[in-house]
């Protein structure tokens, strides 16, 4: 569990500009779990990649560590990032989607991005 948290923190730090302060960006996130029989780590990873690609995002990190998949991407121009995880937890696949917008607080784009990525993952679980 500590390895998972350390990887998650590292990915979040890599995606954030060095000068960002808490009131400089918007964040929206989606967390859910699905039975592994319906959503494997590979299917979760594929769904995130499809959604990120549909958003026009470029993948910067795509790691599969067996029980943890980490995806970090963003548009070619700076200003936003997507950090998503798929985590094997017993008979469940847990996913966490975090959408950041560094243009300022209260950006509606973070909700749109989070919703689009979460919907693609849930679609893969059907």
Task: Give the end-to-end CA distance of the chain in Å, rounded to a whole number.
Answer: 28
- The alpha helices in 2-125, defined as continuous H runs, are 2-15, 41-54, 109-124
Stated length of the chain: 126
Whether 70 contacts 61, CB under 8 Å: yes
Going residue by residue through the chain, which has 126 residues, state the pLDDT in tens, using 9 for 90 and above: 444 444 454 444 444 444 545 568 999 999 999 999 999 999 999 999 999 999 999 999 999 999 999 999 999 887 899 999 999 999 999 999 999 999 999 999 999 999 999 999 999 999
pLDDT at 116: 98
What are the residues facing 94 on neighbouring strands? 33, 87
The pTM of the full predicted model, rounded to 2 decimals, is 0.82
Domains and CATH numbers, the chain: 2-17+25-124 (3.30.160.110)
């Amino acid at each position: 569990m500590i390895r998972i948290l350390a990887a998650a923190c590292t990915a979040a730090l890599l995606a954030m500009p060095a000068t960002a302060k808490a009131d400089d960006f918007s964040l929206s996130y989606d967390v859910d779990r699905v039975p592994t029989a319906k959503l494997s780590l590979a299917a979760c990873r594929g769904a995130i990649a499809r959604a990120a690609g549909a958003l026009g995002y470029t993948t910067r990190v795509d790691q599969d560590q067996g029980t943890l998949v980490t995806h970090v991407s963003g548009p070619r121009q700076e200003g936003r990032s997507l950090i998503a995880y798929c985590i094997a937890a017993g008979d469940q696949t847990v996913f966490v989607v975090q959408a950041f917008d560094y243009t300022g607080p209260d950006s509606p784009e973070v909700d749109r991005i989070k919703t689009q990525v979460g919907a693609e993952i849930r679609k893969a679980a059907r």
